[in-house]
Amino acid sequence: MNERNKHDLLNMRRAQLTAAAYKVVAQKGYNDFTIKDIAEEAGLSTGLVHYYFKNKEDLLFKLLKEMNANLRDSLKKALGELTEPRDKLVAFCEEAFALVDREKAYFYVLIDFWAQINHDARIRQANVKLFQSYRAEIAAIIQEGVAKGVFTVEDVNLTSVIIIALIQGTIIQYAIDSEGFNYSETKEKIKEQILSRIVNGK
C-alpha cells in the first residue's frame, strides 16, 4: 500500500470512528461510554480504535474538532453564493437554527463537552475557537453591512456576542425543554429582532 492509500485509509477510519463516537456519546453521555462501545458501533476491534486514537480523551477531542469543522463547512456553504450583508445575516441565523433539526444530537454532545471544560484544556480551547469563529463570521457580515450603509451598529463585537447568545440560548433551551415553547415560531421572532436591531439600529 502506497503512502497516499495509507493516508486515505487513515482518514476513512478516523471519520468512521468519530461518527461512531458521536452517536455513542449522544446516547450514553461523556462519562458513561467505553472504547468497546465505540468499536462495536463502528464495527471495528477495540485494538483498531486504540491504533487510531491514543485514548478515550484523544478520541473525544478529535470528535469535538470534527463536529466544529462540519459546522463551519455548513455555514460556509450557506453563505457562499450570497453577496448582500442582510442576506448573509439571515442565512447565518437560519443555518444556526436549522442545526437543531438536522443534528439534534450535536447539542446533547456539546453540553456534555461543556461540562469538561474545567478539566480538559484541549476541550476548553476547542470550544473557545468555535465561539471565536462564530463571532468573527457575524462581525464580518455586520462590518460589511455598516460599510455599505445597510446596517446601523455602534459596537460590532458586542452585537456579535448578543446574536450568538440569542441563537444558542434558544437552541439550548429547546434541546433541554422541547415542550417549553414553539421552536419554529420563536426562531422566526428572534430573527426578526436581530434584523430589526441590526438593520434599523433599534
Count, residues in the chain: 202
Q: What is the CATH number of the domain that holds 134?
A: 1.10.357.10
Do 23 and 112 fall within a single domain? no
C-alpha–C-alpha distance, residues 121 and 186, integer Å: 35
Do 152 and 85 fall within a single domain? yes
Instruction: Specify the long-range contacts of residues 150-154, CB closer than 8 Å, at least 24 apart.
Output: 150/84, 150/85, 150/86, 150/199, 151/85, 151/86, 151/198, 151/199, 151/201, 152/198, 152/199, 152/200, 152/201, 153/198, 153/201
Predicted local distance difference test score (pLDDT) of residue 55? 80
Digit-coded pLDDT (tens) for 116-158: 788 888 888 888 888 898 899 999 999 999 999 999 898 999 9
Do 71 and 134 fall within a single domain? yes
Do 9 and 100 fall within a single domain? no
Predicted local distance difference test score (pLDDT) of residue 201? 57
* Residue 156 identity: V
The pTM (predicted TM-score) of the whole model is 0.77
Give the range of the structural domain holding residue 19, as residue numbers without chain letter.
Answer: 1-53
Do 76 and 115 fall within a single domain? yes
**Confidence tier at 1 by pLDDT (50, 70, 90):** low
More confident residue, 202 or 57: 57
Report residue 49 as a C-alpha cell: 480504535
Digit-coded pLDDT (tens) for 70-120: 777 878 888 888 899 999 999 999 988 988 777 767 777 777 778 778 888
Q: What is the CATH number of the domain that holds 35?
A: 1.10.10.60
C-alpha–C-alpha distance, residues 69 and 23, integer Å: 17
